Structure 1
């Protein structure tokens, strides 16, 4: 086992780090996010296995870094860098899902949706009717109006959103 680990630990660490670095750069620059997101998460987790084996196999050298104090500054700087991202995000609180907000807005009766859109229920109904959509009453939802009119609900929501 020791010979096998010695032969594969560093190549696996290198290979998985390369995949993690390339997919991380692609995610950072928003290139093919749908291709790289799961790959980056799962293979970066898998990278922990050869990393820990590498640390275990080189524990004597690791202790030397701690004894000489040369590990403290890099670890401290790494923690400060992580905190620079984590603390502001934690202070913002939970933002919620934009997709869930859109779904909720399309499922809400026009009576309740109108104030969110800074209009009245009757004005919202008139706006939709003027655009050619079939609206029976202000108790309808954008989803039901869209279904009756053969249009996507998101399209209706975008059309009735107030301009900034």
Structure 2
């Protein structure tokens, strides 16, 4: 039964998940597609390992023959050598990296607007107005973006973007109510 399953589904499953991984990988590389592509790519690439292992088991004799003829080693060396430059990249000049941004996201989601407003050079009322003008239901500056997103029926990530990005362009702040410092 296991052999029948591997013969029937090993290669098709590998092909299907590889196509998903390839398409989402290309989309991520060129910054195309929805934000869902990132978790799709990561998780389904992990799932791809199962059919890949089935494919290896199914084709084990061929793999051993590649090793005996020494035609397996050069492609493996090339694949692993292609990874090396990524460990020695110079800093990109960006402040932080993507992982840092992902670590900051929960802080932004759970902070009340009164604490977030200074990040976008506004007071809480200005930030409330900014979110309301983009269709969010906001009762007060004491609410968190997570609460506002739930009440408005929007994903919390969209609420974070709406709070931090000026809806009229120009980056954070640059509009709305500014606290006066004298």
TM-score tier, shorter chain, comes to 0.5 to 0.7
- The residue number in structure 2 matching 1:69 is 70
CA separation of 1:6 and 1:23: change in aligned 2, threshold 3 A: same
| Secondary structure at the counterpart of residue 70 of structure 1 | coil
**Residue segments in structure 2 that go unaligned for 5+ positions in a row:** 131-162
Alignment length, in residue pairs?
126
- Point out the structure with max Rg over C-alpha: 1
**Residue segments in structure 1 that go unaligned for 5+ positions in a row:** 109-140
User: Structure 2: how far apart are the matches of 1:32 and 1:157?
Assistant: 24
Query: What TM-score comes out, normalization by structure 2 length?
Result: 0.55
The alpha-carbon deviation at position 107 of structure 1 amounts to: 4.9
Matched, 1:146 2:113: no
Query: What TM-score comes out, normalization by structure 1 length?
Result: 0.60
Matched, 1:28 2:61: no
User: Structure 2: how far apart are the matches of 1:25 and 1:72?
Assistant: 27
The alpha-carbon deviation at position 88 of structure 1 amounts to: 1.9
Runs of 4+ aligned structure 1 residues displaced above 3 Å come to 98-104, 148-160
Q: Deviations over 1:47-106 (max 9, x none)?
A: 11111111112212111111111111111110111112233279x9x93524739969x9
Structure with a larger share of its residues in helix: 1
Aligned CA-pair RMSD: 3.7
